[in-house]
Amino acid sequence: MTQRIEVETYYPESKKQRNWLLIGKESVGKTAFIEGLVGSKSSSSNLQGSSLFCQDYHWRGQSITDTPGIQTRMDSIVTSQVLQKLHTSKQVILMVKSTDLLNDLNDLWPLIQGRAGIVVVTYWDKVKHRPDVCKELEVLKAMTRLQWVTVDNRYITTEQLSEIGVALKKPALFPNQPPNLTANWLVIPKQAFFELPLIGPLLSLMLLILPALFSVMNANAFADWLYPSVERSVHNLKASIGHLPDVLHQMLLGDYGVVSMFPFLILYALPTVIIFSAIIALYKTTGLIDRLSFNLDPYMHKLGLSGRDLVRVIMGFGCNVPAIIQTRNCSCCTRGSCVSAISFGSACSYQLPATMAVFSAAGKPYLALPYLCVLMVTTCIYLLLTTSNSQRRAAMSPNLLNRGFLQPPNIRFALADMLGVIKEFFTTAFPLFIGICLVAGFLSWLGFFDFLTAVIAPLMALVNLPEEAAIAVILGAIRKDGLAIGLIDSASQTLKVVGMSDVQLLSAVYLAGVMLPCIVSLLTIVREMRWHFAAKMALRQMTCAIGFTAIISWGLG
């Protein structure tokens, strides 16, 4: 028996009132849809939970606000913000997945009932070949009197654009109850090779770690090849401006100065960011990163994380700052553990190249793999020690992830996403890098580092390290490439500290990298999570880092 729903057509009084709120669950395709609609790149990507802010667009006289994806059973910050904005919105564009239409309608309909709007059904290419689904769609249109527009959100046609434009002119009110569905709309994605029993989680983890390893290895090879030429240019520049007052000399030309550190920024950090962002962008557009996080989700619960949190930790290998900001989409109960994992275990594009540079300068590049293994294992232990039972239960909450579909890469979206990351690097990270270099040079001129080193150096014996390693720990806490400044002689490209064993060198680099989050990351955590969380986390991280280092250096040395 066909369900009958009382509906009413709604006509906006004037064009000025045609302000539309675009809502839907995560990964429904809102970002790709709005880009196809207005023909411009949004600053969001299609990673689950990657959209953080509402963004306004204008199209054919209509104002459309794109919102972050809603998770109806999760208390993330961005979901609560969308729900608050929904309370003041009268006109809604509801986006639902054709492949999971029943759940989307039941979960989202109570939020928009009584408002005017249209329904956009995405992933239509997955179900359009089924007669039962096509027939029921016609029933839904007649039953609700709403405009139901079907799209493949990655490739919106001119005809679909016209259909959407007409639909927005005469929206109807959403009934109080969602329509009943008789056809089975659910489409289960096919199993991929990395989802095989037993070996699937290991393969998934390897695929997630691969971008960081690949980017660092190739960036270092490129940097080593180009370094002599760049170093000569820097040397000539230093010679030409060498006659400066002492304070400016330290801030610009000293060991921590802008000019001295510029080759490291351009040759090591920037290529790492470019390669890493390119791979992650391809992962996003193919849906691979969502599938990997879904596959690893059950194994993260014991650590107080979910699969979606793990993705943010992996993003931190590019840069900790945007990864920490992205945790706004995590559950409020697990966000703290996710931020802690990023701060402790995500070796960013400064830290990893600096670490590899130290191992290369020592003639021991084979320590790279043990270092990454130690970092991963100790991060897991750190989370086991610091997460609560409530955080672990929250990580197991339902409806946090959906499996998603694998699809061919969209090069245009991937390129735009990569360029956005690079732009962010130059507009945010680069100025901060310059500022920190200037401050570090000034502190060096004041003798602050010498004083701090004298205080901390005797404590190095507690972790079985030479006193000379103290400066690397101090500089690593300021910015992660500081560990290379503290351990590598810039003139000879060899280690400043001689006689260290493999275990001691590994321990020194490890302690310098995880002792504290860098200044920029710490300030970001203060802004996102408040100062008391940042202070508590920093103290906890420092304690665990010292303990782990002592176990490694004394136990294996």
CA dist 217 and 213 (Å) reads 6
Instruction: Judge whether residue 494 has pLDDT over 70.
Output: yes
Q: How many CB atoms lie within 10 A of CB 412?
A: 12
**pTM for the complete prediction?**
0.76
CA dist 355 and 271 (Å) reads 15
Mark 194-210 as b/e (b = at least 16 C-beta within 10 Å): bbeeeebbebbbebbee
Residues 188-219 pLDDT 10s: 888 888 888 888 888 988 888 887 777 777 77
Residues 253-298 pLDDT 10s: 887 778 877 777 777 777 877 888 888 888 888 888 888 888 888 8
Instruction: Judge whether residue 136 has pLDDT over 50.
Output: yes
- List of residues 6+ apart from 428 with CB closer than 8 A: 321
Residue 40: both structure tokens together: 């411009």
Exposed, middle or buried: residue 230 (CB in 10 Å: 0-12, 13-18, 19+)?
A: middle
Q: Helices 519-529 and 335-345 sit at what angle, rounded to 10 degrees?
A: 180
Q: How many CB atoms lie within 10 A of CB 547?
A: 15
Q: Which residue has the tokens 């991937």?
A: 414
At 64, give phi and psi (nearest 5°): -120, 125
**DSSP 8-state assignment for residue 431:** H
Could you tell me the end-to-end alpha-carbon distance of the chain, in angstroms, rounded to an integer? 77
- Pairing, β 488-489 against β 494-495: antiparallel
Q: How many CB atoms lie within 10 A of CB 64?
A: 22
Which residues share a beta bridge with 121? 96, 150
SS3 assignment for 238-263: HHHCCCCCHHHHHHHCCCCCHHHHHH
Q: Are 342 and 320 a contacting pair, CB within 8 Å?
A: yes
CA dist 489 and 473 (Å) reads 16
Residues 408-435 pLDDT 10s: 887 877 888 788 778 877 877 678 778 8
Mark 323-349 as b/e (b = at least 16 C-beta within 10 Å): bbebbbbbbebbbbbbbbbbbbbbbbb
Q: Are 518 and 440 a contacting pair, CB within 8 Å?
A: no
Q: Helices 368-386 and 502-514 sit at what angle, rounded to 10 degrees?
A: 50
Domain ranges of the chain: 15-173, 200-399+408-556
CA dist 122 and 251 (Å) reads 55
Q: What's the pLDDT at 129?
A: 92
Residue 366: both structure tokens together: 């084979």
> What percent of the chain is modeled with pLDDT above 90?
20
Q: Are 510 and 473 a contacting pair, CB within 8 Å?
A: no
Q: Which CATH architecture has domain 15-173?
A: 3-Layer(aba) Sandwich (3.40)
More reliable by pLDDT, 339 or 407: 339
More reliable by pLDDT, 429 or 145: 145
Q: Are 509 and 359 a contacting pair, CB within 8 Å?
A: yes
Q: What's the pLDDT at 80?
A: 66
Q: Are 318 and 429 a contacting pair, CB within 8 Å?
A: no
Q: Are 553 and 520 a contacting pair, CB within 8 Å?
A: no
Q: Are 104 and 28 a contacting pair, CB within 8 Å?
A: yes
Handedness of CA 171, 175, 177, 182 (dihedral sign): negative
**DSSP 8-state assignment for residue 68:** P
Most confident of 488-492, 520-524, 532-536: 532-536
**DSSP 8-state assignment for residue 517:** -
Taking only Cα atoms into account, the Rg of the chain, rounded to an integer number of angstroms, comes to 27
Residues 224-244 pLDDT 10s: 777 777 778 877 887 888 788
